[in-house]
Amino acid sequence: MKKLRFDLIRTSLILSLTLFSLFVFTGETPPLHANSSSKAPPGLRQRIMQQGQAEYLLVLQSQADLSAAAAISDWNARGHFVYDALRATARRTQAGLLRILEQQQTAGSVQQFQSFFIANAILVHSNVAAFDRLAAHPQVARIEFAPAFSLAGAPSLADPTLIEWNIQKVNAPQIWEEFAVLGQGMVVANIDTGVDYDHPALVNQYRGNLGGGVFDHNFNWYDPLKICNIPYAVPCDPDGHGTHTMGVMVGSDGPENQIGMAPAARWIAVKACDETTLCPMPVLLQALAWIIAPCPLSSQPGSSNCRPDLRPHVVANSWVNPATDNGLWLAIIQNLRAAGIFPAFSAGISGPAPGTIGAPAGYAPSFAAGATDINDEIAPFSSRGPSPLTDAIKPDLTAPGVAVRSSVNGGGYDYFSGSSVASAHIAGCYALIKSALSFLSLEAAESRLRNYAVDLGAPTPDYDYGYGRLDCYRSLLDGQPGFILGVLPAAASVCISSAPGNLDNAGPSGAAQFSISINPINNYHDPVTLSITNVPGYVRFGSVNPVPVPGQSAISLGGGDRPGSFWVNITGTGPGTDTRTVTVELKVYDANPGSPSLISPANGDVNVSLTPAFQWSQTNPGDAYLLVINNQDSSDLRYAITAKTNHQFPAPLQPFTVYYWSVQAYNPCGVGDFAPEAIFRTQDVSSTTGDY
């Protein structure tokens, strides 16, 4: 048999992820009407009659009881509780309506429908006969329009003299320098136009970056619009808006490009807005459902393999619509909060007239941001209160949102304006505060944001500036004695065996080093004792403990033999129960990845599909794989780099042809051997169906 030799091909896997949020319902149910004719907004039925068919949303009577969520302190347990309760309520209460919709679809009265667990609602496209029948159903609480939302952004304004003024204005660098807190352990998300995931200011903070040029977009990116690269698995941002807001939250690329509030936080994203910056309501519902429980690329929100434990701590929402009191978005925001996700919203760009704040920003549980310029003047476009949806002061705060420099699509930088830019500052500050003080509840952290804002305009609070302009440093200090635990780096890698060869970017060996600083706030002086969660198979080496305040210490993790990615909690404890915890990531790679086993197509298989699904066994957690196939009779060589253990090439193979294939594992620490090659033959074109 002819021997095939594969050479190592270095390339990067480009898969992606973008956007986020799911919602849960907890009280404040809008009034329900027994008369079915009162369930729909004025004009909806007439529109259906005029057009012959139209799209609308059925909101059900029953909503999940999430009142117990606030008492669940464990992050993973709280996420699973909310996710399971939402799905169970939707399954139980939607069953009868879904059967009717299936029957009506068969009869031709319903064109399409889609179920959502996020707010227990069903999107329907039907004629008026089906509308009337559904409106009369006792499970339907109300019927709503399904409008498109738009981004709260304005045209870019170029001015090279304004670099980083916005980050300085809200005093984020003081937190970095004084406390070594840069957002470690936090995950942020945005629902926007997408993200240029390999932008130099964002690529290192992307949660899907496995290192060594390998990316895994599962649970980290979602494209419900199916605009990005087929199979919609690689993050993209044709517009650049989402890349800009993500840069304001976490961006960092050297001393000249410190553009983000929390540069050590990780990010995930959902693309719910198209190239025209419109964000369809059904897509936003899908995006929010994904945020509550991120999913693998192959699954839709609500699937059993989605992971509420991988949800973000904060989500920035750049989309806005004129405020209408239908109650749907109120339920969604309450569900986000029940899951422990901070809901940052743009106030809108419909100013300067009063009463122009949009939805969902205008609801009390939303944290709405207006935009200010370098001189702390409110931007003319920034939407103002009062809100028609609540008696609470809106916007909550203002933040820089005029001519702000951040990352844009294609690896560059530009100046954007808008309340969405302001909201990104709020989201990044929240990540900093929770990173420093993880014990704070969502409510306690957001109270600090309001209480320590810089008063501007009329005596605070007012309907232009809200409670004032964001001051992140003052919000962190809060006037109470205590200490802040800072740990760097936010993630470290270690190699656990000798490698037969090394990649150019080979990681460290031996032990991972974490530097710890403890700094006082408001005259705190007691020593702090450090402790660390047990990482199975690893030996901890410490330096100074307990640590005088202010003081420095260090922890090393090494000596283990189990590859994987481990989240490590480093805790400092003062007198009594005064504790602070910072989470860091330890990535452990086997420098000799070994050889995977080829599963399918098996050696000797014949009549194999022209688009076969190649599958092989996993070597070690964190490894990436180089798949190579070769046509025996030509120089048709194909390859792919993937973090998964399967791959399907989009272009078909040649019919009735013999191919060889193999797979090699690698990671930042080393390269394994190619698996023993397998040979297969594709099916004859005459035995297949379709056109070729």
> pLDDT tens, 45-61?
888 988 898 889 999 99
Residue 9 clears pLDDT 70, i.e. is over it = no
pLDDT, residue 213, reads 79
Helix/strand/coil percentages in the chain, nearest 5: 20, 30, 50
* Matching CATH number, 482-589, of 3.40.50.880, 3.40.190.290, 3.30.460.80, 2.60.40.3450: 2.60.40.3450
241 is a catalytic site residue: yes
- Cα 683 to the center of its chain, rounded Å: 42
Name the band, by pLDDT with cuts 50, 70 and 90, for residue 22.
Answer: very low
Joined together, the tokens standing for residue 569 give 């909690």
Q: pLDDT (tens digit, 9 = 90+) per residue, 44-100?
A: 888 898 889 888 999 999 989 999 999 998 999 999 999 999 999 999 999 999 999
pLDDT tens digits for range 626-640: 999 999 877 678 998
Ramachandran class of 684: left when φ > 0, alpha when ψ lies in -120 to 50, beta otherwise: beta
Residue 569 has pLDDT above 80, yes or no: yes
pLDDT confidence of residue 19: 23
Mean pLDDT for all residues in the chain:
85
**Cα gap 442→48, rounded to integer Å:** 42
420 is catalytic: yes
- Catalytic pick among 419, 420, 438, 662: 420
* Stretch among 56-65, 257-266, 578-587 having the lowest mean pLDDT: 578-587
Same fold, 482-589 and 598-687: yes
Domain 36-147 has CATH 3.30.70: yes
Instruction: Say what percent of the chain tops pLDDT 90.
Output: 60
For residue 539, what pLDDT is reported? 77
Q: What's the CA gap between 49 and 46, in Å, rounded?
A: 5
Task: Name residue 267's amino acid.
Answer: W
Please report, as a single letter, which amino acid is at residue 28.
E
Q: Are 624 and 642 in contact (CB under 8 A)?
A: yes
For the cut 50, the answer to whether the pLDDT of residue 189 exceeds it is yes
- Residue 47 is given by DSSP the state H
- Which of 256-270, 465-479, 559-573 shows the lowest per-residue confidence on average (mean pLDDT)? 559-573
CB neighbours (10 Å) of residue 613? Answer: 12
Q: Which of 16, 21, 125, 192 is catalytic?
A: 192
Check pLDDT > 50 for residue 244: yes
Domain limits, the chain: 36-147, 151-477, 482-589, 598-687
Query: In sequence order, what are the residues at sequence separation of 6 or more whose Cβ sits closer than 8 angstroms to the Cβ of residue 168?
Result: none
Q: Indicate if the pLDDT at residue 323 is higher than 70.
A: no
Task: Give dist(CA 461, CA 290) in Å, integer.
Answer: 35
pLDDT band at 286, cuts 50/70/90?
very high
CATH homologous superfamily of 151-477: Peptidase S8/S53 domain (3.40.50.200)
Mean pLDDT within 251-277: 90
- Alpha-carbon gap, residue 649 to 640, rounded angstroms: 8
Q: Are 116 and 123 in contact (CB under 8 A)?
A: yes
Does pLDDT of 6 surpass 60? no
DSSP state of 123: E
Cα–Cα distance measured from residue 657 to residue 470, given in angstroms and rounded to the nearest whole number: 65
233-242, 248-257, 277-286, 533-542: range with lowest mean pLDDT: 533-542
How far, in Å, CA of 117 to CA of 125, rounded? 18
| pTM (2 d.p.) | 0.82
Q: How confident is the model at residue 606 (pLDDT cuts 50, 70, 90)?
A: very high
Fold of 598-687: Immunoglobulin-like (2.60.40)
Establish whether 192 is a catalytic residue.
Answer: yes
Q: Which two tokens stand for residue 134?
A: 């559904």
Q: Is the omega angle on the peptide bond into residue 155 within 30 degrees of 0, that is, cis?
A: no
How much of the chain exceeds pLDDT 70, in percent?
A: 88
- Coil vs helix vs strand at 357: coil
CA distances from 568 to 184, 491, 531, 534, 545 (A): 11, 10, 11, 8, 18
Most confident residue range from 37-46, 422-431, 499-508, 515-524: 422-431
Distance CA 180, CA 184 (A): 9
Q: Which of the following is catalytic: 217, 241, 313, 647?
A: 241
30 has a pLDDT exceeding 60: no
